A and B are shown apart, each in its own frame.
Chain A
Amino acid sequence: AQSVTQLDSQVPVFEEAPVELRCNYSSSVSVYLFWYVQYPNQGLQLLLKYLSGSTLVKGINGFEAEFNKSQTSFHLRKPSVHISDTAEYFCAVSRAFNDMRFGAGTRLTVKP
């Protein structure tokens, strides 16, 4: 079965600085990869996904992620963060919906 490791539980960063949230996965078969975001007191919403094709995926709110098969990674990046990006970010991997595995989450805190 596949699994997900988010390498940082907390990432503090100053406003307008770049950020990278790291995600590694393990699977013996091809998988789909996702990043979800959870704002305070809300459910999760999809930021971006990789199903196939181009390894650089662009999502909402200026985020992008790159699928690296050789390193089994799917790191999330944003060149310039805003206060409003403060949230919990979850990496997920799946082969099918009833087999979607989430990481433990990375709390991004953007400071003024």
Chain B
Amino acid sequence: ETGVTQTPRHLVMGMTNKKSLKCEQHLGHNAMYWYKQSAKKPLELMFVYSLEERVENNSVPSRFSPECPNSSHLFLHLHTLQPEDSALYLCASSQGLAGGTGELFFGEGSRLTVL
């Protein structure tokens, strides 16, 4: 496995379900991110972890709960979601937070549909 891997690729859930999205990076990076991609809208940064510590939470509703158990893994726990939460959720990683090469490495995304 190389790069950034996200599972599942597709997820359909009801508003009362609890599910989790998983992200794993094999690049040796020390920062990981969750982005939300909705149609016709800019990517929205949700959470940033550096060295397993959360450094950014952009006013995301509490029904989204991130977890970063180590520098290679990132989870997004979902519960009591709303239909407007349906989107593509992208995980990314980078080496360092500020300056550097400026490159984010993205996974292929998890397409979430909330019924």
Contact = CB atoms under 8 A, between A and B. Distances in A.
A58 B50 CA distance: 30
Given A44-B104, A46-B103, A94-B102, A100 B42 contact: no
A43 B42 contact: no
Given A100-B45, A103-B42, A34 B102 contact: yes
A44 B41 CA distance: 15
A98 B106 contact: no
Which of A4, A44, A45, A96 has the largest number of chain B CB atoms within 10 A? A44
B102 A51 contact: yes
A97 B32 CA distance: 10
Interface of A: 4, 9, 32, 34, 36, 41-46, 49, 51, 90, 94-98, 100-105
Interface of B: 4, 6, 31, 33, 40-43, 45, 48, 50, 55-56, 90, 92, 94, 96-109
